Structure 1
Amino acid sequence: MKNQLRHLSLTTRLSIAFSIICCTVFLGIGLLSYHNMQKLLAKQRDQNLTARVERIEIFLQDQESFQILIQHPRLYENMLGKEDNLLILRNPQHTLIEINPLKVHIPAMAKSKTITFLNNQSEFATTRLAYKTVRFNHQDYQLIAGTQLDEAQSTLDQYLWKLILYSLFGIVIASLLGRWVGLYLLRSLNHLIEQTHRINGTQPHQRIEAKSTNIEVEKLSSAMNSMLEKIQVNYDQLARFSEDIAHELRTPLNNLMGQTQIMLTQPRSQQELEQLLYSHLEEYERLSKMIDNMLFIARSEHSDYILEKENIDLSNLILELVDYFEFLAEDKQMKFVLHLEKGVQIYANAELLKRALSNLIVNAIDYGLENQDIVISTKAIAEYAHIEILTKNIFIDKHHLNHIFERFYQIDSSRNFKAKTGGLGLSIVRSIMTLHHGEANAYNNSQGIVFSLKIKSQA
């Protein structure tokens, strides 16, 4: 059943649901109306019997009129005008009046000073009776009035058939109206579906233009356009990434091929061949580093990447890195200037944070000027720790700053520089900060370019 419903349109489903609701509502109203009609006819029947008993009591008070009724019972039968009505006045010794044309069985009745109602039989009753014990000529008599149940049942049957007919007619009309309303309300949704089908890969900037008075359709259209925007951004990034990686891989491969072709043009000495192998090894290491970095970025961007964190003393971690990279800085006559705030604790993965800071320090050494300082400072603000690495007298144009953390992005002036991280160093820094729910930024100040990291100081 569920599989069959899946193949039905939303309009058809709504129509079916609306029809089921209409059937339920009409059925409920019909049953309630039939029950109320049944109670109303029963109440009216008992009221008529009560009025009949009361009229006979009035006759009992008028001796002359009552004597005429006793002598001529057919008069009362004619007054009733129906052969199925019943009237009996009796006691164990005498029966003064007995109008019972259908010979209805009268059950035994106890004395009752008030009007009491009962059916002539406990099962399959045919007559409704009302009786009362009255006083006449110093004797107690049972005054019994009755009417057939067939008349009320006939009225109920007619009412039931009309009720069924009107309910079916109402269900059909309501179902047709429900389908028309469904088609009208879902017209804009169908238009949205048509526009969605028209979107293809040949027009990446195409968007959905579905104007509708339906708020839900407007929200859906806006959400789909927002999704298309994100897809477009990711598509552009992927296209740019493909171009960049092709460029980055082509350079070392061209170097390998060119050097090999030159060496094969004529016989070479053993020393020249060794130099070629060392040169090739350097290119291989660069390619290996690039691939490792790409794999790390891909894993870090995966949602189920597990990150183990611990409390780290930031000053000790930076001092450890400075000791390690100090010899590289000395080769360019550079030195580290530290402004470290004491007691700054961070909650992070130590190895990944070392890698991010190492990339920034290596970047500062590689691109910094000789005899210039690299200033590293830390400070705690609220629940975050801020780390800044300043490379003096090096400035980056503003239009580069917004892209500097993108994969393989390099400034034109340094495009031919063989980066130790394969052109992915700053992108790795941003990925590590993203894993820690932190931030990585770059900006120029009056002294030079500053790379800033922001990371939580507590769990």
Structure 2
Amino acid sequence: MRGYSLTTRLTVFFSLSSACVLLGLGLLIFSAMDRHFADEDYVLLRDNLRLVEKSIGTSTTGALPAHLRDAYQHHAGLLLHVRDADGHIQYATPGFDFAAALQATPVRHGDMDVIVWRQGGTAYRGIRAGAVAGKAGDSARPVEIVLAMDTDMHEHFMRAFGQSLILYVALAALASGVFGWWAARRGLSPLRAMASRAKAVTGDSLYERMPVEAVPVEMADLAADLNAMLARLQDDFRRLSEFSSDLAHELRTPLTNIMTQTQVALSQPRDAAKYRDVLASNAEELQRLARMVSDMLYLAKMEHGLDLPHKETISVGAEVRALFDFYEALAEDKGIALRLAGDAVIDGDRLMLRRALSNLLSNALRHTPERGKVVVTATRQAGEVEIAVENEGSEIPPDLLPSLFDRFFRADKSRSRPEAETVGLGLSITRAIVAAHGGSISAMSEHGVTRFAMRFPDPDAARALP
């Protein structure tokens, strides 16, 4: 049924279920009625059997055939066959062949031996019993009695009832199918509405959402999940569009510089010194482009959830002191003090962690005024290891804090960056590295201090779990 619609499937299931239930109920009623008619027939036969036994018991042996003929030859609806122990027939209903009745195997029904057989297209029910013929003082002789009746009236009724039952079940199944189709169409209308909404979703209309309040409870979770998926797609599409625009801008500027300087240099003959200056300037721009491409590739690997290349236990204090040694010359030029407070260990990739710390330290040194200070703290709290980098300097506006980790983000909306050494990917890479380690990063800037805090899972707390 995979090729059929859900409405068709539900309609078929409704129809089949109704037909099965009604047919089962009809068969139960049919069987009960048949048993009821059989019981009525046997009660009637038993009552007449008593009369026959009484007649036999009050007749002499010689007068028994005549007595039975006078009493039962005109008794409509009853068939009587009486024979003695020698097989002599004392009486048999005229015009009826009792051969099949005498050959039928008796079945015990209550306190009687009953027989059922068919003859000439008619079904019969009967009782087989024994009696003693002869009055008191007469020579008593045992006789065998077969008393039966046809069931034409009951069979006719049951046949008509069966035909009516089949017709009713067919009509009821058809009606159930119609009502089931209507209920399925009405019940699945919210799903069709969701499908039409989904068809309307394109790259230019990702704002479309599923009607969560207008759908049944069973579909509300699906609608909410689809809305969440659309929200993620809309956000990712927006970020991709912004990234494409930013990337085009970032690549256009150095490429324009290279082409302009090269064209100017080639416009007329120049001495070797001029050519070297042009080549040196072009080399700087090319290095910047190479660094941008390298950072973008690194960021793409991090954001695709690649496993950590070399996972090991890392001492945060040792890594920070190694970076202090690297940045010591730059810090001394500006008179900036570098300080480390606390220590901790985390599980992760040493080179990746060092790159994240290096990005934060280089940013801090770039924005710290002369004779300021940069403080790195490492603490353990609530099952996490927090590594924070703080620097003094001008505050970042609160409305810009959520965008600090976006690619190519700069607070300067004019994008003017003379002599800039970065391409705006450092914090994005740092966030991706922290996320690859299962952590998170946040930023705050107030009271003249800017603070970036990276939080990683505490390996000691994880190992202590059962």
Common fold by TM > 0.5: yes
Distance 1:348 1:318, change over 3 A: same
Q: What is the CA distance between 1:300 and its match in structure 2?
A: 2.0
Mapped contact 2:314–2:350 kept (Cα < 8 A):
yes
Q: Distance in 2 between matches of 1:114 and 1:59?
A: 21
User: What is the 5 A alignment of 1:47-446?
Assistant: 47-60=43-56, 70-71=66-67, 73=69, 75-79=71-75, 81-82=76-77, 85-93=78-86, 95-99=89-93, 101-105=95-99, 106-107=102-103, 114-119=111-116, 127-137=124-134, 138-148=140-150, 152-209=154-211, 212=214, 214-303=216-305, 305-308=306-309, 309-341=311-343, 344-412=344-412, 415-416=416-417, 419-446=420-447
Number of matched residues? Answer: 446
Q: Is the partner of 1:375 in helix, strand or coil?
A: strand
Q: Distance in 1 between matches of 2:360 and 2:54?
A: 117
Q: What is the CA distance between 1:163 and its match in structure 2?
A: 1.4
Distance 1:47 1:350, change over 3 A: farther
Q: Once structures 1 and 2 are overlaid, which stretch shifts more, 138-147 or 434-443?
A: 138-147
Mapped contact 1:361–1:389 kept (Cα < 8 A):
yes
Amino acid across the alignment from 2:392: K
Residue number in structure 1 paired with 2:456: 455
Mapped contact 1:326–1:335 kept (Cα < 8 A):
no
Distance 1:169 1:355, change over 3 A: same
Q: What is the CA distance between 1:328 and its match in structure 2?
A: 3.1
- Stretches of structure 1 that go unaligned for 5 or more consecutive residues are none
Mapped contact 2:26–2:165 kept (Cα < 8 A):
yes
Q: Distance in 1 between matches of 2:445 and 2:31?
A: 86
Q: Distance in 2 between matches of 1:73 and 1:186?
A: 76
Q: Distance in 2 between matches of 1:74 and 1:367?
A: 134
Q: What is the CA distance between 1:146 and its match in structure 2?
A: 1.6
Mapped contact 1:26–1:167 kept (Cα < 8 A):
yes
Q: What is the CA distance between 1:329 and its match in structure 2?
A: 2.4
Q: Once structures 1 and 2 are overlaid, which stretch shifts more, 177-186 or 387-396?
A: 177-186
Mapped contact 1:104–1:127 kept (Cα < 8 A):
no
Amino acid across the alignment from 1:411: A
User: What is the 5 A alignment of 1:6-45?
Assistant: 9-45=5-41
Q: Is the partner of 1:268 in helix, strand or coil?
A: coil
Q: What is the CA distance between 1:427 and its match in structure 2?
A: 0.4
1:22-79 per-residue CA deviation (whole Å, 9 max, x = no partner) reads: 2333333344343334433333333333233233234445559x97984252542433
Distance 1:120 1:192, change over 3 A: closer
Q: What is the CA distance between 1:417 and its match in structure 2?
A: 5.1
Q: Once structures 1 and 2 are overlaid, which stretch shifts more, 32-41 or 247-256?
A: 32-41
Distance 1:440 1:212, change over 3 A: closer
Q: What is the CA distance between 1:455 and its match in structure 2?
A: 0.4
Mapped contact 2:56–2:131 kept (Cα < 8 A):
no
User: How large is the RMSD of aligned CA atoms in angstroms?
Assistant: 3.2
Amino acid across the alignment from 1:422: V
Q: What is the CA distance between 1:150 and its match in structure 2?
A: 5.2
Q: Distance in 2 between matches of 1:418 and 1:136?
A: 137
Mapped contact 1:440–1:452 kept (Cα < 8 A):
yes
Q: Percent identity?
A: 28
Q: Distance in 1 between matches of 2:217 and 2:286?
A: 58
Mapped contact 1:86–1:101 kept (Cα < 8 A):
no
Amino acid across the alignment from 1:156: M
1:347-405 per-residue CA deviation (whole Å, 9 max, x = no partner) reads: 22222111111111111222322222211111011221000111122421111111101
Q: Is the partner of 1:275 in helix, strand or coil?
A: helix
Q: Once structures 1 and 2 are overlaid, which stretch shifts more, 313-322 or 194-203?
A: 194-203
Amino acid across the alignment from 1:441: S
Distance 1:31 1:310, change over 3 A: farther
Amino acid across the alignment from 2:273: Q
Mapped contact 1:69–1:76 kept (Cα < 8 A):
no
Q: Distance in 2 between matches of 1:73 and 1:415?
A: 132
State TM-score, norm by structure 1.
0.86
Q: What is the CA distance between 1:292 and its match in structure 2?
A: 1.5
Distance 1:419 1:433, change over 3 A: farther
- Stretches of structure 2 that go unaligned for 5 or more consecutive residues are 135-139
Q: Once structures 1 and 2 are overlaid, which stretch shifts more, 178-187 or 147-156?
A: 147-156
Q: Distance in 2 between matches of 1:120 and 1:20?
A: 36
Mapped contact 1:53–1:131 kept (Cα < 8 A):
no
Q: Is the partner of 2:103 in helix, strand or coil?
A: coil
Q: Distance in 1 between matches of 2:142 and 2:118?
A: 25
Amino acid across the alignment from 1:142: E
Distance 1:107 1:20, change over 3 A: closer
Amino acid across the alignment from 1:147: M
Distance 1:163 1:442, change over 3 A: same
